[in-house]
Each structure stands twice: as C-alpha cells, then as structure tokens.
Structure 1
Amino acid sequence: MTIDDGVRRLPTQEITTHTDSREILANAARDTERYGLDDYFIVDVDSHHVELDSWPEILEFLESPVLKDTAHQMMRNWPQASHLALHNHPPGLTMQDVSGRIPHQASLAEETPGAASGAERDVTLVRRAMDAMSIDLQVVFPQPMLETGLHPQPQVASALLQAYNRWFTSQVLPREPRVKTMLGLPFEDPDACLATVEEFADHPGVIGFLVTSQRHAGVHRNAYMPLYRMLEERGLPIGFHAGPNQADSMTSTMNRFLSAHAMSFVTCNMTHMTNWVINGIPERFPGLKTIWIESGLAWVPFMMQRLDHEYYMRQSDAPLLTKPPSHYMREMYYTSQPMEWTDDALLEATLRAIDAPNTLMYSSDWPHWDFDVPGRIASLPFLDDHAKRNILGETARKVFGL
C-alpha cells in the first residue's frame, strides 16, 4: 500500500532492521494532513540515534592516548566488540526487540545511498524521521550511552562522554541546522562538568546539558552547586534523561523486561526529583530551567501528592522550601514520551495536574520501539488548539530560546 508521496505503508510483519524509516513512519504523514500539523511549529525534545554505529569514529576523539590505544586493541583483538570497545552496554537492552518482533531499533540497517557510514549516515536517518513526522527541530541524544552513569570505571565514562560530545558537535551538528542537542555531562566529576559547559555552551546547536539519570549520585551534593549556577547564569536548561536498568537492587528481582522497563525509567527520575526538590535546588537556583525526560507522566501527580503529604508533616526536613513540593514541580518541565494513554480520564487529570499547556513538551523517542508521533498530542480531545501548539513546540521555543 502507498500514500500520496509514493512511500509504502507497511504491515507490521514486514518491518525488519533494513526497513526504511520513512516506510515505518508512513502513517505519520496521514496525521500531518488530518491535524494540519504543517501549520504547527513542532519541536521533538527527545529523539535518538544509534551512536554505536559510529563508535570507531567517536573513539578517535578520545583525548587520552592510553585509552585510545586500549580501544584500538579491543577492536583489533575482539572484532565482535568493534562497536562496543570501552562501552558498558547492558546485555538486558537486547530484549527490547521482543524476540525479534519489533526489530527496527536493534540495528538501523536501512540503506542510505551516498551516506555510507558515520556522521553523514546518522544525519540522513535523522532527516528521514523529521520529515516523515513534520518535525521542525529535533533534539538528538545517544542511546546506549544513557547508561554511562553505571560504567564500572567512572574515568572511562567521563572520557567517552567527552569524545562523544566533541564528535557530535564537530561532525553531526554542522551538517544539519535542524538538529539540536543537550550534551551529556560527565556527572561523575563535577569539575569536568564545569569544563564541559565552558567548552560547548556557545556551540551552535547545543541548547542545554543533560544528566543521564541511571546513576547512583546525589544531585543535591554541594559539589554540583557551581554547575547549576553556571547553567542558570547562561540561561541553559538542565535535563534528566531516564534509562533502563535491570540490575539494580529493585529491578534485579524482576523476571521480565516489561517489568524492569516499566519501573526503571520512572524510579531513577523519581529519586533525583525528590532530592532536587526537598533539598531546595529550585529555591537556590530559581532561574534554572529543569526538564524531566522519558519517564512518562503518570508518576508526576503521584509524586506531587506524596511529597506534599510528607512535607506538611515534616517541614523541618526541608528547611529551604517556601512552598509545597508540588508547586516547584509545576514550575519544571516534562517531555511527553511515553504518554500513558490507556485511560483518557486519568491522562486528562495528569495533564491538568502538571499544567501541561505550560510545562509539557512533545517528544517522539524515535527510533525506540515505544515512540510517539506528533499526532498523539494533536488527537487529544481535551486539549484546545493553544495547548496543543504549546506542547508541540511553543513551550520548547521558550525554554530553549529557539
């Protein structure tokens, strides 16, 4: 079956790792016409590329000659690890393709004529997704590196993030002005975080900085206060991007990927959110824009109620707060994916609780298996046109100064 531009709309069973992204996203073109999305300014605040496909190129940006040589030795002596050298890619993530039934994310093996490999290929794939979903600007993050905070060697994790940031800003961003990014911070090392902001804050296309939330770090530690002050003074948002983990003290008891995926993407940000609010970070840095990414939304009203309840009973434990925790949470920002859609009444109540027209920003999470197209927002019957426009792009325009 084809649609007007000649791109096939595929039955699900035909999708493989080689299927063209434009064919997988053909239904998004139907949404563009149905909801008039070409008339909207659409910013995708959370999407991904498969950085391991370009891993040998990225490793060339390692600053340490010792680490670079180690990576070369790994790739030479262990060919099967040529795209994993020095990485801590967790084996459990390979369960995401549901025993091969949702294979596209496992490898983006589609043909890209004229862009055989590396950054040029990455940009080609990003453009295809943006055009198919009528997206004007797309914030792009890596994928497996979201677990870099769990790397057993923190100094290696910091070096890999530094190499990735230099590769992405020099090789990807100059090729496509519609691509933006929030660069990952080497959060294991507060001084390295400051150096990262100093190096990249003024780079075209860098619109903020990111903490990968799967990590065991207290975001309220005094060592991070200079970082938050620097970001606030520069007007740059900080994001906390959730990720999966099937090996911590909670999820290691779970025997299904579904269970770990449902919980780990939420609990990591719940932990950081609690420390962030109860320790008064919003009071200390009222101008710092804070974004919670890829944890869905259903947890936010729960945390509002739970933290308010505890606060009213033990205000002495949160001496910096001048108002209940939920008030600070309504002043922060959230990305929409994955938007829990199984109960319209609950979803409507959730969006009302977080003041969605002013705090929610659309995200696709493409090319992950649970991605959302812009039509997901445009189709919500309880949102008026103003709210839809804000969520799809206008709030992001304000937050990032686009």
Structure 2
Amino acid sequence: MPPTDGVTPHPTQEITTRTDTRDILANARRDTEYYGLDDYLIVDVDSHHVELDSWPEIVDYLEDPVVRDIAHQLVLNWPQASHLALHNHMAGLTLQDVAGRIPHQAALAEPVAETDVHRDVTLVRRAMDAMSIDVQVVFPQPMLEIGLHPHPRIATQLMLAYNRWFTENILGTDSRIKTMLGLPFEDPDACLETIRRYADHPDVIGFLVTSQRHTGVHRNQYMKVYGELERVGMPIGFHAGPTWGDFMTSTMNRFLSVHAMSFVTCNMTHLTNWIINGIPERFPGLRTIWIESGIAWVPFMMQRLDHEYLMRQSDAPLLTKRPSDYMRAMYYTAQPLEITDMGLLESTFRAMDAEHTLMYSSDWPHWDFDVPGRIMGIPFLSAEGKRNILGETARRVFNL
C-alpha cells in the first residue's frame, strides 16, 4: 500500500446513495500518483451499473408485445414496482448494504447535471477517471440473477431488451466504455441471434453467461453457441452472482455466508462441467473467462479435479491432459481478491499462472470493490506481471 506519511487523505464522510462517485473514490488518486498508474494500461474487466434505476426505459425495449404490455401495466398501475416489473431480483440480497450502512450500490442517486449523454455514462466516466481506468467493461447488476427467473420466456425477453437498451443508449458515447453482452441462455437460438447481431459492434468485446442458474453448460443444445463464438473470435465469460435460494444457501442465516459461498459454487459447477465434458477440446480457440468469483477456489479445483480424473479417466474421454492444464489456459478476474494471507495468495498465483491468466477488475460500485492500487501493492509480482494483470492480458484476450 502507498505510504500515508505526508499525504493528506480525503476527509472522512458519511456515504449515502447521493454521495458523488468522485468523493467516494477521492483517495484512489493517491495510488495513481504513488504507483505512476497513468503510465499503465488499466482495463477494468468487471464493473457494474444499476440497471433498475433505468428499468422503466428498458422495458420499453421488450420485443414481445404481450410481455411489453404486461410490463407497462405494472409500471403504470403499481408505481412501487415500476423499477422491478417482471424482474426476479431477490429481496433478501439487499442485506448486503449492512442494514443501510453501505448504501451506495442500492441506488446511484448522486446528482448529475450533464444532459448530453445518459446519466449512467456520466457515472461510469466519474469512476474511470477517479481510478485511472483506460477501458471499463460494464455489466448490469440485478440482471446477474436472471438465470433463476421462474419464467424462461420472460427472462429471454428481458435480456434481449436490456441488450438493445444498453447498446443504443450507453455504448458509443465514450470509446472507453465496453461490455460483454449477456446471452439469453434459456434459449440457444436467441443466443445465436444475439451473437450475430452484436459481434460487429465496436464496443461489444465478448459475451456473458450469468452463472447463477441451474443449467448444464455442457448440454448439446449449446454447442452451436460456443462454435459461433469461436468462429467470430470473441470470448465467453461466466459471471458469478449471489443467491439465497439454492438448497445449500437457504440453510444460511447470514448474508456474509451466502456471499462467501454462492459467488464461488456456481462457477465451480460450470467450470467442472465445462472441462470434464471436453468443451476446451471441442472449441480450442474459444477464450473462456471466470468472473467475480475471486481466485482462492482455483487451486482447490485444480487439485480436486486432477485427483478425480486420474482415477476415472473413462468418465472424461475427450480430455488429452489434466483438468488443471485446461484451467491454466483459461482466464480469471481478480475481484474480490482474497489477500488476507500473502503466502496463500502467492501459492494461488503460482498455481494458476496469474501473471498470464489474471485480469484486473474493480467490481465498482459494489461494496467490496478493489482499486488498481490493490494489484500494485502485491509484493511478489514482477513488474511485467503487474502490467499484464492491470491491462495487457485483457488487451490480448479482448483484441483491444
């Protein structure tokens, strides 16, 4: 961490939903100056905006006239539900604001005077400028739960509507703002349509599966989706999310417990199906990214899957090497970076070849976000490794 001697930190303040992003991130400038971050390419591979703030706009983009009419009726007749119409956002997850003490991500309600662009563009710019970020990949936030929607048709329509709204209102206004568009994974044909519709968009740099879902990613119906992504040369990302509704998490009585487990177990499940069913062998040119699961689970999965595979290779006939070898050929984002034990962190970095597979992410504006200085403060990283993690690996993965 940068020294504090002789440095005047930003004054302590109460943070509310209306606090300006630039005030919340004011101390990030200290890292920029100390580490010389303006001389680095910094690509933030995972950040968010709160799409429910714009939900009445988004439902206007619903293509199915019946679903669109239902949404409009809910917005019109149920004002208290106008920012949740047809959504499956789980109310219990609002406990992540710690009884209102960390409220910023509950809504981004800070004043915005600029009118030449959508307010979300202004908010993203404020965060990028404060953290010295050159390129920021922006995702939705509550939409990360869309894979658990009880109505697949509505889930598909919501994802398609959000993608249209985002590409038409947010992208194209600032060349630094990029995205991996969410795939309507309930419908493989709609996934294909999405890829073909947006693959040539200059600010769409990949496609995303929201990981919190009860779907086997190895099913044959998805092979045409992965083949199309490989053909157009665009990566696929699996973005983890929280849920209190699974059998295991439903036994937990604290949000801390749910957050610690559910963000990890969903991607562990998908990665296991992905590797054991030979997806990397079938699509060797498809770049795969595991997002917002931290990295502490990676060496565990390497050891566990290698151990099981060596005893039951007949269960994975497509594999030509150990599961850990496939894992070292994939990519991971750094947030939340488990940094409580530097020795364990160094072992994790070594196991996953982090200097070539790990990509910086802030996860802004979530309560547990990481600024770029978090990477610069890791003592065992080489100078080249820091540059790779902060931006150079992302440059290669996304063809920036």
| TM-score normalised per structure 1 | 0.96
Q: Secondary structure at the match of 2:171?
A: helix
Other-structure match for 1:18: 18
Q: CA deviation at 1:229?
A: 0.7
Partner of 1:356: 354
Residue deviations 1:189-231 (CA, integer Å, cap 9, x gap)? 1111111101111112000000000000000001110111110
For 1:279, the equivalent position in structure 2 comes to: 277
**Deviation readout 1:296-321 (Å, 9 max, x if unpaired):** 00000000000000001100000000
Residues 10 and 23, structure 1, Cα contact 8 Å, conserved in 2: no
The equivalent of 1:9 in structure 2 is 10
Q: Answer yes or no: is 1:316 the counterpart of 2:314.
A: yes
- Aligned residues: CA RMSD: 1.3
- Answer yes or no: is 1:326 the counterpart of 2:327: no
Q: What are the superposed Cα offsets for residues 213-270 of structure 1, whole Å, 9 maximum, x if unpaired? A: 0000000001110111110111100000000001101100000000011000000000
Q: Is the Cα–Cα contact under 8 Å of residues 308 and 326 in structure 1 kept in the other structure?
A: yes
Q: Amino acid of the residue matched to residue 395 of structure 1?
A: T
Q: What's the counterpart of residue 33 of structure 1? A: 33
- C-alpha separation in 2, matches of 1:115 and 1:129: 18
Quick one: which amino acid aligns to residue 374 of structure 1?
A: P
Q: Report which stretch shifted further, 261-270 or 96-105.
A: 96-105
Unaligned stretches of 5+ residues in structure 2: 1-7
Give the corresponding residue for 1:340: 338
Amino acid at match of 1:20: D
**Given residue 98 of structure 2, which amino acid in structure 1 is its aligned partner?**
V
Map 1:186-335; keep pairs closer than 5 Å. Answer: 186-335=184-333
Whether the aligned pair in 1 keeps the contact of 2:359 and 2:390 (CA below 8 Å) is yes
Query: Residue deviations 1:90-133, cap 9 Å, x none?
Result: 111210110111111111111111249xx710000000000000
Correspondence 1:387 to 2:385: yes
Extract unaligned runs of 5+ from structure 1: 1-6
- SS at structure 2 position matched to 1:183: strand
Aligned-pair distance for 1:33? 0.4
Matches within 5 A, 1:80-229: 80-115=80-115, 120-229=118-227
| In structure 2, distance between residues paired with 1:195 and 1:309 | 39
Following superposition, the deviation at residue 336 of structure 1 comes to 0.2
The one-letter code of the counterpart of 1:71 is: A
Native 8 Å contact 2:114 2:122 kept in 1:
no
Q: Helix, strand or coil: the match of 1:310?
A: helix
Deviations 1:116-166 (A, max 9, x none): 9xx710000000000000000000000000000000101000000000001
Larger deviation, residues 132-141 vs 74-83: 74-83
Residue 8 (structure 1) shift: 8.3
TM-superposed deviation, 1:10: 3.9
2:170 is paired with a residue of what secondary structure?
Answer: helix
CA distance in structure 2 between the partners assigned to 1:39 and 1:132 by the alignment: 15
The aligned amino acid for 1:388 is K
After superposition, the C-alpha distances for 1:50-93 in whole angstroms (9 at most, x for unaligned) are 00111111111111111111111101111001111111111112
d(CA) in 2 for partners of 1:313, 1:387: 35
Deviates more, 1:173-182 or 1:291-300: 173-182
Q: Using the alignment, how far apart are the partners of 2:92 and 2:360 within structure 1?
A: 28
AA aligned opposite 1:9: H
Q: Which amino acid is 2:186 matched to?
A: E
Distance 2:385 2:59 in 1: 43
- 1:68 alignment counterpart: 68
Aligned to 2:371: 373
Taking the aligned partners of 1:182 and 1:90, their CA distance within structure 2 comes to 23
- Tell me the distance in 2 between the aligned counterparts of 1:317 and 1:218: 16
C-alpha distance in 2, partners of 1:27/1:302?
35
Write the distance in 2 (CA, Å) between the matches of 1:207 and 1:172.
15
Aligned partners of 1:271, 1:330: CA distance in 2, in Å? 17
* Counterpart residue type for residue 263 of structure 1: M
Contact 1:48 1:140 in 2 (8 A): yes
Residue aligned with 1:248, SS: coil
The residue type equivalent to 1:102 in the other structure is I
- Letter matched to residue 44 of structure 1: D
Contact residue 8 and residue 23 of structure 1 kept, 8 A = no
SS in 1 for 2:208: strand
Secondary structure in 2 matching 1:14: coil
Query: Is 1:10–1:24's contact at 8 Å kept on the other side of the alignment?
Result: no
**2:9/2:27 contact within 8 Å kept:** no
Partner Cα separation in structure 1 for residue 236 and residue 83 of structure 2: 29
1: CA distance, partners of 2:68 / 2:309 = 49
* Aligned counterpart, 1:3: none
CA contact (8 A) 2:334 2:361 kept: yes
Matched positions, count:
394
